[in-house]
Structures are given as C-alpha cells and as structure tokens.
Amino acid sequence: MKIFLRLYRFIWQRKWPFILGSIPMVAAMVLNNLAPFFVKWLTETVQADQFDQAFNLLFLFAGLLLTANILENIGYFVTDKNMVGTSNAIAQAVLTHIHNLDFAYHTNKSSGKLISLMKRGDDAFFAYYDIINRQLLNLAISFGMMIFAFTSLRAGYLIFVAVLLCLTSLVATFLIKLNIQKRQAFNDADDDVSSARVDNLVNFDTVKYFANEKFEQSRFAKLLRIWNRRLQDYFFTFRYFDGLVGNLINFALVGIMFIALRDLSQNVISLAEFLLVTTFSMTLFPKMMHLLFSMRELAKKNTDLRTYLDLLDEPIAVRDPESPKKIAELQGNITFEQVDFAYDKKQLVLEDFSLQIEAGEAIALVGFSGAGKSTVAKLLMRMYDSTSGQILIDDVAINDLTKADLRSIVGVVPQDPLLFNNSVYFNIAYANHQASKTEVLAAAKAAQVDAFIKDLPNGYETIVGERGIKLSGGQRQRLAIARILLEKPKIIILDEATSSLDSASEQIIQAAFWNLVRDQKNPRTSIIIAHRLSTIMQADRIVVMDQGKIAEIGTHDELIERDGGIYQRLWSLQKNGFIGDGESES
C-alpha cells in the first residue's frame, strides 16, 4: 500500500491532466462495454422481424464505437502528459535526494548497482501507471456493467463468477508473492553483474596493467552463473502462473457458458439473453486473463519500483539547517573548536582538534599517513559532520549554513580530480556557470592548461572522456586548478593538488596559486595538504598532525629546529623535494 500512496502523491502533482484525461477514457470504456447489450438488442429485433430497427441499432453502434475510439485517444493523449511528467518528477526527486545524501553514502554505494536500480525503477513506473490507471480501470468498468446485466437474469451467474474470481485471486496472490521473492533474488544477482560490468569498464586500464583479463572474465562468469540460475527460478514462477491462473480463467469462461446454455435449453432465458451472457463472458474473461497476466508483470515491477522509490527514504546524515544563517561580510576566518570525529563511530580519527586560522592565512597540514589531514578538509566542506565540537567561519558555525552556501565559500582541488564526460571548456566553466568566455580562458591560461588544450583535436571543445580518462593525471589536475582559479572562493583547500605535475609545471601552478591566495585586494584563506617542500615552506604556519591530534605548530624554520619533533623526522625522510609521509619510517 505504501508504494501506491507514494506513487499517487507524485501523480497528483499533475492532477488536472490525470483528471481531464480520465473522464473521456472512462466514457470510452463504458461505450466499448455496451457491445453485449447491442448483441442482445439486435437479436431481439431480428427475431421480431424488425430489420429496419436492427439496421438503425447497427448504425448507432457504429457511431458509439467511433465516439469511443475518439474519446479513448483523447484520454490517452492527455494522461500520457501526466505519465511522462510524473516519471520526470520522480527521476528529478531521486537525483535531488541522492545529491543531498552525505559523502559516506556515495563511498559505500556501487555506481553500477545504483544506475541499474534507477533504470529498472523508471521502466517499472510506466508499467505500473498503465496497468493500474488504464487496464485495471477498464476491467472494473467491465465487471460493473456485467453485474448490471446479470442482475436482470438470475443470481446463479453472479455467484459462479464471484466464486471463480475469489479462487483465481487467491491462487494469483500466492504466485505473485512467490514471483516477487524470486524477482528480488534475481535483482541482487543482476546488480552484482551490473556492478562488475561498470568496474571493468571504468578500470579497464588497471585490468590491462596487471594482465588480469582472464581473472576478470572468470569472476564475471561466476556472477553470470548465479544470475542465470536465479533468472531461471524467476521465469519458472511465470510458468506456474500461466498454467494455474490461465486454466482457472478458461474454466470460468466455459462454466458460465455451460450454465447459460443449460438455462437456454430449459427456456429459463431467451436466445437474446443467452447471447448477452456469452458475449460478456467471451469479452470479459479474456480481458481478465490479460489483466492477471499484467498483474504478474506488475509483481515483476513491484520490487523495481519499490527499491527505486525507497531511495527517497535513504537518511540524510548531513542536513541543511531549518533556519540557515548568512555570513554578512565574508572574511575567511576559520575556527576548529575541540573537534572529534570517527568514521565508524568507534575509533576517533580526530580528537580534540582545535585550530584558529586567520583570514588570508595559509596553513599547511602535514603528518604521517592516517594522521587526519584529509579528514580536516572533509569536515570543513561538511562531507561529514563532526562527532563533537564545532567548526566556524567568521564566528558562524558551518552547521548553520546551507551546504550550498558553505561550498560556495570553500573551494577544493583534490588529489585525483574527476571530470565530466564533456568538453574541456565545460569542465573548466563548471566552477562558475555565470563566467564569461574571457574569464574561462583567463583561468585556463593562469593554470597553464591553455597550451596543451590548443593541441587537442578540437581544442576547448574536445571531449575528455569518462572521468577525464583521455587526459593525463597532471592535465586533469591543471584543469581542476583552472576551475578553482575561475571560482575564486574565499577559502581554498589544496589536497595534494600538484602531486602529478612535473617540476616546471608545478612552479608555474604554484605561482598562479600563490598569486590568488596572496591577492592584496582580496586575500584568501588556504589549507594546504602537500608533500612538496616548495608548497609547505611558503605556508604561514605548518600544522603537524599525529593520530588525529595537533602535535606541533610553527613555521618551517621553527619546526625544523625542534629536536625530536615529528616535522624534523618527516624532513629527514625527504626525497626529491618531498616530505615523506612516514610510510617508510620503519
């Protein structure tokens, strides 16, 4: 019942196409179901040798059929607008909700499974809409008119139909439940196959690097065997349904005709009434069989649609405030006040982390692997919420800002930037949709991407491939830096953003970055997570982290002189201009 209520909430958002389309459709269904009555009336007029009246009835019947056809097409045309609009509304609502879900949801979710789920759910909606709002309505009207017709005869017909209907419904319900159960098992196997396909398509280079084609083919074959077995189990439920339900419907059809024929032979009913019963039976019971087969299809789609709509119930851990605040005059001061955080709510990744960053100040975060450096950046972006404590920007808690406002203030250049499968220009301009072409090209030149872009087959209109696969790691990073130069946020996080660049490119990018950060007219606050000495040494302060806590704070010169300090140990591990991360310390 929940799925129907949720579905009709979406359908009712466009209630007028639904209502206005349903009226002519119902009228058409009523007119189409008058056929058995016309057979009865024609028979009576022919038996009475009233052929002129019989021809008039025939012409009237032709006019009603034409009218019914026109009304039916009008109804379908109007309700189609409701159906397509509702499908769009559901798809938009699901995507919006997925956007609102926190970072943890996406890290734990398989993209292949999610895409497969959404595609099946969208297909299931159209089947649901047609079966419930059209086929089921048509059958209900047909039964209503049959009951009206049979009440003028005798109760035996209605009792027989009711008993067979109840028996058929019970058998169909049992088989539909079995069908749903097998469908869910098949969906799980289908999702695993889809996930494996996406993994192989996205990571095809990794497969080739390790010559693991045979391994992946073997892994895929195992998943396909499970998929095949569950699909066959699922298909068998259809055969049970076809055999049992189909024969019950056939028995009902023959049974009602047998009763009517017996009554005719005993002069209980007239020939015209016999034809009324048989015509209704021969049109209604096949229609009922078709509907039950459609209900079988509905059962198949039930799991798909329910799982699709259940995406809207996924809890949002990082929520926007009910009464969001605004920062009146943004300066860029950042305050971490006794922040604790644990990914699994067991072991703290950050513990009692307190740090005051002044507006325009450049802070470098360094430490051993797992010290919590990237976690600080994620918390500032509200990819997660801290377990305790708070983070403030200009004395306003970031939890009091909408996520959109916060992320317009804080920009990030990640270590491994992923790009849209679109043009180079689109990927740079993505940071600021209002930017002019001149501004986009200026950002590209500042990030030193203009030269290599012009060498691409279609220049700025070159499609970069899924996740930017057509570009090198260094080229993707430079595009990401161009985006941040175009966005010009007040606070910038540089998370190993120059790690894939050669020394010459890195120097140019560093110059562009520091020009942006040290802009005299509009200085920006920056948090830098990096191993490059040139980046770290230029920071105003270096924050050394160890096991989620701040171990040392100072300038490069101050920390390098601190005997036995972590920074001094990291410095001693430097290789080729990088500070070691402690992985090789032992």
Lookup: tokens for 42: 């024609």
Q: What is the pLDDT averaged over residues 13-30?
A: 90
Q: What is the pLDDT averaged over residues 256-282?
A: 85
Residue pLDDT, tens place only, 523-563: 889 999 877 666 788 889 999 988 888 999 999 888 888 88
Phi–psi pair at 133, nearest 5 degrees: -85, -10
CA-closest candidate to residue 7, choices 216, 348, 302:
302
Q: Name all domains of the chain by residue range, CATH numbers in brackets.
A: 2-313 (1.20.1560.10), 334-347+359-369+384-572 (3.40.50.300)
Q: Residue 184 pLDDT more than 70?
A: yes
The better pLDDT of the pair 413, 85 is held by 85
The better pLDDT of the pair 480, 401 is held by 401
Tell me the CA end-to-end span of the chain in Å, nearest whole number.
61
The better pLDDT of the pair 172, 387 is held by 387
Phi–psi pair at 50, nearest 5 degrees: -100, 70
Q: What is the rounded CA–CA span in Å between residue 111 and residue 514? A: 37
Q: What is the rounded CA–CA span in Å between residue 322 and residue 317? A: 14
> Which residue's structure tokens are 């056809």?
69
Q: Residue 576 pLDDT more than 60?
A: no
Q: 412 - beta bridge partners? A: 493
Confidence of residue 401 (pLDDT cuts 50, 70, 90): very high
> Which residue's structure tokens are 């024609």?
42
Q: Is the dihedral of CA 5, 8, 9, 15 positive or negative?
A: negative
Confidence of residue 580 (pLDDT cuts 50, 70, 90): low
Candidate from 86-100, 300-314, 507-521, 559-573 with smallest mean pLDDT: 507-521
Candidate from 193-202, 435-444, 479-488 with smallest mean pLDDT: 193-202
- Mean residue pLDDT of the chain comes to 83
> Which residue's structure tokens are 């049979």?
150
Cβ pair 93, 125 in contact under 8 A = no
Give alpha helix (H) positions in 518-555: 533-537
Please count the residues of the chain: 586
Q: Residue 155 pLDDT more than 90?
A: no
Question: Best-predicted range by mean pLDDT among 59-73, 370-384, 563-577?
Answer: 59-73
Q: Model-level pTM?
A: 0.68
Lookup: tokens for 160: 């027989």
H or E element that contains 549: strand 549-554
Give alpha helix (H) positions in 381-455: 403-409, 424-429, 437-446, 450-454
Please report how the helices 271-310 and 136-150 are oriented relative to each other, as an axis angle in degrees rounded to 10.
150
Confidence of residue 583 (pLDDT cuts 50, 70, 90): very low
Cβ pair 480, 417 in contact under 8 A = yes
Q: Residue 585 pLDDT more than 50?
A: no
Residue pLDDT, tens place only, 311-356: 888 888 888 888 899 988 889 899 999 999 988 777 788 989 999 9
Q: What is the rounded CA–CA span in Å between residue 447 and residue 484? A: 9
Q: Is the dihedral of CA 58, 61, 66, 69 positive or negative?
A: negative
Pairing of strands 396-397, 350-357: unpaired
Predicted local confidence at residue 162, as pLDDT: 78
Q: Residue 203 pLDDT more than 80?
A: no
Q: Residue 575 pLDDT more than 60?
A: no
Q: What is the pLDDT averaged over residues 480-505?
A: 79
Residue pLDDT, tens place only, 222-240: 999 999 988 888 888 878 7
3-state secondary structure of 392: strand
Instruction: For residue 368, give the amino acid letter.
Output: F
